[in-house]
Structure 1
């Protein structure tokens, strides 16, 4: 795979390639496709027609409908045991025939807005590519989960406390929209720069081209649209098996079935609660559930991830567990829960003062320190190292480039074919649009935190500190995301900072984490959408308006859906009190709740500080800072060996980026599929890869989403499930995988070792 080789990100062997005459658009006949990234040159067209209408009545109707629908379904499914995250690809497919239908039947009438000079046509002509892209941007805002819903859920369903409706609504809106300010500050570096290529966007670019461009069917082959429809129908038809008839196929762990009475064998073989050796799945949802499609991740990043995953899961964790580091054998080998010293589930009620909702020191002293599974402990340690390594890696490998791009950004010197076309044909979004919105959201965030009796526990200075954290980390994390499709979050470092500064307050901790972590995630999302618009030649002001309206609509729908379910479903998120077979178990919120105990109630001083069990995990910060240095030195010593620069220590250290709540089988399947297509197929059959890889990803995603929705609304809402049999359980049938192995520890139905 060709990647940037010198400090400017351009391979010395690359020379711009002139397009064939039939590749030129009416507006770019003199342009050369001089984008320095090969995958972009293979996927993104340099055609543009600036006369196409964008913000049409079709865009608004279909866009808001898609945004609302995805927001409702994602929040609805998010509380369920078999969680499903619907991406904008589903809407991207559905709205095309709807748009064409509206173009065929709506009258070509001009409507004047009363009292203004504004007017619009009900039917401005054929449904076009730019309308389709903007509708998909609307859908993107609806498919992006609202992190603040985790806070509202744990307050109401786990801590069983009241939160003011308006405080919850302001928290939802401000956490989602703070990211616009960061997007405005960093768009010059992360959008205009051709070296920031955002690999995941190429999936949608490829699908847009397949759906809109006319092409001649190759002899003995298929047009891209035909290929997409075949994949979509096949994925749709097959997903009834793992989703409804045979859910156990989502994790097949043969080692457990062979050694049914061995705890060790099941710890090794379980794909859901163990190391996953020999475990696999026959289900695309398992592959793409937690990290997204592997087909959208560059090959060099996949290889780095696979190295880190192997070293973590099959070297570090087994050594630490079977040498009983941190009393590891008292607890499951892999779990995201918190435990007391006797291996039981930690009773947070004993260490939390119900009156003021703060830490109870006496109860803690009388009860137990908090303990973690060895995997969860090292997952936190490696997240410390990953963040430190990101800063070090970007400074060493991209420092000079960032400085040169900073100078270029201020001089407006970025110059590839896509940037030239955008600057020539469209006006940029004024910076004050971003900054004004940013300042308004900061003000509202302070009102949400300081008002309403201080229910959110975070003082105003916490909002300001969260902004400072994002300012420091935004550029290095943005560079990594824009070049590798791997995004490292600020959740752990945010929890650590506020946990030390403002301990014993669980809501203050998670609110601070949300204002720092999610404002950066939202900024990354906005920037990614801007890059998609950059590739598809969408007017930037139209992009901004659609993102803004979409975010407001999506936030309102997510909040309304969550509030409705939390106030109407009895015992939601409490499996011990739910009826047998009830799906409302909230697995993602359960992880969030346990994190609030670790960082908010007990605090990092009693977890990773001098008073805690896991103080040695802080050495991972030092390890992370130093890890990229040897690679950088080797790249300087042997500049002719280009592969050295593709060693990415932050990605390697991250190991298993989706765990938890992802599992070993998710990562194993994700890496296997990704390496096959983006290393083997890309290297051996590049022409096939260029035409079909991203379309294959889009078709698989869409088929899974449509079948899941169909099954739910036609069968599962009526409690019509498949016949009762062994394969109907959403489990890998490794009941002993979560058992402790220390002598004398008795937990549930687990055997007691002596």
Structure 2
């Protein structure tokens, strides 16, 4: 019996016919050319030219340059209040005219490397699509996040990725939705297209969106920053804590708040235009249930003494509602926990939202394993058997196998072994300053390998990536308590190596769609990693040494952007898990021990959906209910805010549900191009504004709208009687 795919409703027993012995071309049959995923069929070309040169001088020069520039800019903007993540789409646009310029002016003579048989040309011909893709993969290395500036960790991830490449790249059902944005843009930039009557080509449409986005972003970025979060409820009830908790888009529930800024829409969850419609619905359900049902009930019932603290905050507090003084519980000479200081001071307390964020993250991981086992277990087993028989593929996989050699597995295994040894040397050497022993170095990557396949499946089909940050902190916190540096190192080796593996696999899938030789992909990613991590480290070191009081808002001058919201969350997590430890937070000695029930909830949650899908197989929509995504619906809040989610959901539902169903031809031509143009316009204007004006402290005129805030100061106030907090009313 055919079983519908969990995400698309297509048959998992779909098996394209093999190439006929009479030599019929792969492109000769519509059935063979189909991908089982509709969005892929609408976006990805099935043509390939294996004669195009790939690793050219232009690829190396432009690739390394864009990688370094993006790494610098992302690290630079990562420390700022209005954090801006520049994706490789920006580089994808800029390098096209540069590549064509180099093709026009560089000499074509062949240059021989002395003493070897190697030779190359600075200009092997016209700048081509495959060079462009590889340069963008270089740029991806410079835009893949700065959670851990550690080359060993990143390359460990490459080793893990090699193990699951056949499952998460070659499978046609692992379609990596975010990649379709770049695929669509590549085709718009390179393919010849006749302008439709009274319409625009895809390239013309992209340029219109890019210029419009670029021109408009000067308003929220420079002239009217308050437009990033407009919370009218706060303006009406200026002296009501409750009203501001309900209406604030930055510190509260965000009811009635909205934004007129694309950066707010895409800031923490990425572009909603890149998410499949069913994933947007699942995220929306999770967000609304968490923010508008669970949190209000918990707060109004004063669960965990919630009214002593802000409704939504990523900070840690003492029992009196003040920010936690970590200096009283940490030995500053050896960075270890001070039990006597802790007993004399206070247990760590959290805002009710922060507490449930951790509980829901417990449930998300448990639900991920349960969901993948129930809904994908049989498929993964069938795919495992079919993989070794080369049967589980589509037209893209067959073209890749036909035209290019695969990366040998020993490349991945060798890299994994070398990086594991280097990680152990880094932790055991240098006087063990990182505090993490060798067994922690071995255990952390083991967790990454265990979770990589289930999390990879979720990411490759929904564009949502559950994280291992909490579970890694929890495990090492129980096993090796009171050592914050060991906790951070363990989280880095466990969580970030898995994140980098996901990034590596996503890039490999992009190369898979664009028909790039796998060995060229591997080499570019490896070199890009070395360049990017080096630039990330150098930029961070420079900023920390040159900006006074960076990341300390209490000491920064008014209006300073160097508040580091993302790193602030990381710092508070290090207090919770590394200094105080999970035993005193979520164990028998802590206030939040009941949060452990979320593990049980997460394991059981997908079971009901699975049972219903078996009882009512004709109702395909039941299988689109994804409990890990619903549970983690608000998972990016802190540092994201409610207004980020409200705008993200609104835009996503409109384009990827309404427009996708009513105007599918327009969606197929323009949706991903629209996303790329909006992202690129914001990025270019932000860079221009900063390096021409803001770096010289030339800001817009001083007025109410210049403040990067939603003007809801009371939203962060406690409401419990007798709690005194600066700038807040005291309830009696």
Q: What is the deviation of 1:673?
A: 0.3
User: Gaps (5+ residues) in structure 1?
Assistant: 19-24, 150-171
Aligned to 1:508: 486
Query: Is residue 219 of structure 1 aligned with residue 197 of structure 2?
Result: yes
Give the alignment's TM-score, normalised by structure 1: 0.94
Q: What is the deviation of 1:583?
A: 1.8
CA deviation profile, 1:668-708 (whole Å, cap 9, x unmatched): 10011001100000011101000000000000000000000
Query: How many angstroms apart in 2 are the aligned matches of 1:308 and 1:717?
Result: 40
The answer as to whether partners of 1:608 and 1:614 remain within 8 angstroms in 2 is: yes
Query: Is residue 632 of structure 1 aligned with residue 632 of structure 2?
Result: no
The answer as to whether partners of 1:26 and 1:49 remain within 8 angstroms in 2 is: no
Aligned to 2:60: 60
Q: Look up the SS of the partner of 1:62 in the other structure.
A: helix
Change beyond 3 A, Cα 1:634–1:102:
same
Query: How many angstroms apart in 2 are the aligned matches of 1:678 and 1:116?
Result: 54
Query: Is residue 134 of structure 1 aligned with residue 134 of structure 2?
Result: yes
CA deviation profile, 1:496-527 (whole Å, cap 9, x unmatched): 00000000000100110010100000000000
User: Gaps (5+ residues) in structure 2?
Assistant: 18-23
Query: Is residue 566 of structure 1 aligned with residue 544 of structure 2?
Result: yes
Instruction: Select 1:406's aligned residue among 367, 384, 387.
Output: 384
Q: What is the deviation of 1:30?
A: 6.0
Q: Look up the SS of the partner of 2:111 in the other structure.
A: strand
Change beyond 3 A, Cα 1:429–1:753:
same
Q: What is the deviation of 1:468?
A: 1.3
Q: Look up the SS of the partner of 2:281 in the other structure.
A: helix
Aligned to 1:748: 726
Q: What is the deviation of 1:269?
A: 0.2
Query: Is residue 488 of structure 1 aligned with residue 487 of structure 2?
Result: no
Aligned to 1:388: 366
CA deviation profile, 1:286-306 (whole Å, cap 9, x unmatched): 000001100000000100110
The answer as to whether partners of 1:26 and 1:48 remain within 8 angstroms in 2 is: no
Query: How many angstroms apart in 1 are the aligned matches of 2:651 and 2:111?
Result: 51
Query: How many angstroms apart in 1 are the aligned matches of 2:546 and 2:343?
Result: 38
Q: What is the deviation of 1:413?
A: 2.1
CA deviation profile, 1:573-595 (whole Å, cap 9, x unmatched): 11222223222221111110000
Query: How many angstroms apart in 2 are the aligned matches of 1:7 and 1:712?
Result: 45
The correspondence of residues 156-235 of structure 1 with structure 2, limited to 5 A, is 172-235=150-213
Q: Look up the SS of the partner of 1:727 in the other structure.
A: helix
Aligned to 1:5: 4
653-662 or 42-51: bigger deviation = 653-662
Query: Is residue 269 of structure 1 aligned with residue 268 of structure 2?
Result: no
The answer as to whether partners of 2:229 and 2:249 remain within 8 angstroms in 1 is: yes
Change beyond 3 A, Cα 1:59–1:440:
same
Aligned to 2:442: 464
Query: How many angstroms apart in 1 are the aligned matches of 2:14 and 2:420?
Result: 47
The correspondence of residues 654-733 of structure 1 with structure 2, limited to 5 A, is 654-733=632-711
The answer as to whether partners of 1:16 and 1:33 remain within 8 angstroms in 2 is: no
Query: How many angstroms apart in 1 are the aligned matches of 2:393 and 2:430?
Result: 50
Q: What is the deviation of 1:7?
A: 7.4
Query: How many angstroms apart in 2 are the aligned matches of 1:442 and 1:633?
Result: 42
The answer as to whether partners of 2:5 and 2:12 remain within 8 angstroms in 1 is: no
Query: How many angstroms apart in 1 are the aligned matches of 2:334 and 2:511?
Result: 48
Q: What is the deviation of 1:6?
A: 4.4
Instruction: Select 2:712's aligned residue among 707, 725, 734.
Output: 734
Query: How many angstroms apart in 1 are the aligned matches of 2:249 and 2:147?
Result: 27
Q: What is the deviation of 1:207?
A: 0.3
Query: How many angstroms apart in 2 are the aligned matches of 1:588 and 1:471?
Result: 26
Aligned to 1:242: 220
Q: What is the deviation of 1:215?
A: 1.0
Q: What is the deviation of 1:70?
A: 0.1
Query: How many angstroms apart in 1 are the aligned matches of 2:9 and 2:573?
Result: 42
Aligned to 2:47: 47
The answer as to whether partners of 1:7 and 1:401 remain within 8 angstroms in 2 is: no
Query: How many angstroms apart in 2 are the aligned matches of 1:9 and 1:235?
Result: 32
Change beyond 3 A, Cα 1:738–1:9:
closer
Give the alignment's TM-score, normalised by structure 2: 0.97
Query: How many angstroms apart in 1 are the aligned matches of 2:120 and 2:3?
Result: 46
The answer as to whether partners of 2:7 and 2:623 remain within 8 angstroms in 1 is: no
The answer as to whether partners of 1:27 and 1:48 remain within 8 angstroms in 2 is: no
